[in-house]
Amino acid sequence: MNGYADPEYIESLQQISLPFLGTGKHRGFPVEGDSMPPHADGSIIVGRYVEKLGDVNDGKTYILITKNEGMVYKRLNKNKKNALVVSSDNSFYPPYEVKVSSILEIWEYVCNIGLTDEKQELTESASIKDLFLELKRDIHDLKISCRHWLFLRKEYRRRNI
């Protein structure tokens, strides 16, 4: 995203005002990619400007404007002294660190403005997770059945010997 690493460009972006946003400075940022489902590529993430790093809550999502990467929308954790650990909700993308010194602005997620009315399909990772959970239940049921069968076999042999 060209321009998002330029502080002057960021400052020139329009702020938005919607009745349900409450107080504070708000901006809309376009979503690109698939790292933060369910937000679709092309939708708008609305963020409220965060005045200081101490206001960042672990596990919440934020828009970061950084010197190196420009704009990223990720889930944050402050478990490092001079860096934030940022992670995607799509487990395909591994977490990584962003140095606090490279952060220009932080915007807390407020809402998402979807620009399409497409039917949202289950993501592959969600259906894979469901398959693994079903498989885990099936294995558990098989273990119980095997134990029961072994018990019956043992009892049969004991009585017939």
Averages of pLDDT over runs of 10 residues in the chain (161 residues) are: 57 70 83 74 87 90 88 86 87 88 91 74 64 85 88 84 71
Q: Are residues 90 and 72 in the same domain?
A: yes
pLDDT at 58: 92
pLDDT at position 123: 54
Residues 72, 131: one domain?
no
- If asked whether residues 16 and 89 sit together in one domain, one would say yes
pLDDT score of 2: 47
Distances (CA, A) of 12 to 2, 15, 102, 104, 137: 14, 9, 20, 14, 55
Q: Rounded to an integer, what distance in angstroms lies between the CA atom of residue 161 and that of residue 150?
A: 16
d(CA 156, CA 81) in angstroms, rounded, equals 65
Strand-pairing partners, residue 113, are 44
Do 98 and 127 belong to one domain? no
Q: How far apart are CA 64 and CA 5, in angstroms?
A: 10
Residue 50 to residue 60: CA distance in whole angstroms: 13
Whether residue 97 is found in the same domain as residue 19: yes
Do residue 109 and residue 130 come from a single domain?
no
**73 and 99 both lie in a single domain:** yes
DSSP assigned state of 21:
S
One domain, residues 96 and 126: no
For 67, the domain range is 7-113
> Where do the DSSP E strands lie in the chain?
26-30, 44-49, 61-66, 70-77, 83-87, 96-99, 103-113
Note the pLDDT of residue 92.
Answer: 80
Is the same domain home to 12 and 71?
yes
Which of 64, 69, 68 lies closest to 105, judged by CA?
64
